[in-house]
Chain A
């Protein structure tokens, strides 16, 4: 069993739809990252959170430490949001990554 699991693995949506990507983890963590990876490999950090909720533009990330679960929401999705979204947890000095959720948003 992976220490960090994401669902769904693949997600397609129509432009404008509300998107939710889930992440569950089984190890102790000091923080959780949501990352965005575009084709070609570039990774961008979207959020780092250790409790509660953060919002940046159309992106919202929440974490429930007791349930070991985090969600990434995208409101009013757009084709440019198409990418792989990766959840990663900080365990001691290293990040443990999920396998990612591939999102495709169609116009």
Chain B
């Protein structure tokens, strides 16, 4: 596709439910990032993949959060036993660079707005 796509765009979950958020990066992009953006705040880093390797997951807020990119393309962010504080927009971005210090532009998806009731 022409850009980064994410699905679903909106997700409402009851507290305690598990959710899975999908990111389709730009074809051929090596690096993929997940961010969490709370209402009125800037995005915050969650995790980073280079191809299928998860090189940095220091931003994941708890062990309820899990991300994977098994074939180095599509990525899924899974949140188990959702809590109200998980409500946020989850943004995915990809970039063509391969270096940890890449200064390539990151291309952002439209985000998934998660609301936990």
Interface residues of A (CB under 8 A from B): 4, 30-31, 33, 35, 40-45, 48, 50, 86, 88, 90, 92-100
Query: Contact at A94–B41, with CB atoms within 8 Å?
Result: no
Q: Does B106 contact A (CB under 8 A)?
A: yes
Most A C-beta atoms less than 10 A away, residue of B41, B55, B103: B103
The total of Cβ contacts below 8 Å across the A-B interface reads 63
Return the chain B residue nearest A9 by Cβ. Answer: B40
A-B residue pairs, 6 tightest by C-beta: A97-B42, A41-B111, A43-B108, A31-B103, A94-B45, A93-B100
Q: Which residues of B contact A (CB under 8 A)?
A: 33, 35, 37, 40-45, 48, 55-56, 58-59, 89, 91, 93, 100-101, 103, 105-108, 110-111, 113
Are A30's CB and B42's CB within 8 A? no
| Min CB–CB distance A9 → chain B (angstroms) | 10
Pairwise interchain contact A42-B103, C-beta atoms closer than 8 A:
no
* Shortest Cβ gap from A24 to chain B (Å): 14
Per a CB cutoff under 8 Å, which of B56, B91, B108 touches A94? B56
Pairwise interchain contact B42-A88, C-beta atoms closer than 8 A: yes
- A29 CB to nearest chain B CB (Å): 10
Q: Are A93 and B110 in contact (CB under 8 A)?
A: no
**Which residues in B have their C-beta under 8 angstroms from that of A96?**
45
Residue pair A45, B106 in contact (C-beta under 8 Å): yes
Q: List 7 A-B contacts (CB under 8 A).
A: A35-B108, A42-B110, A86-B42, A94-B59, A95-B106, A99-B41, A100-B41
Expressed in whole angstroms, the Cα–Cα distance for A98 and B42 within the complex equals 6
Q: Are A97 and B40 in contact (CB under 8 A)?
A: no
Apart from A43-B91, A45-B105, A92-B100: 17 A-B pairs, beta carbons within 8 A: A4-B42, A30-B103, A41-B89, A42-B108, A42-B111, A43-B43, A43-B108, A45-B108, A86-B42, A86-B43, A88-B42, A94-B48, A94-B56, A95-B43, A96-B45, A97-B42, A99-B42
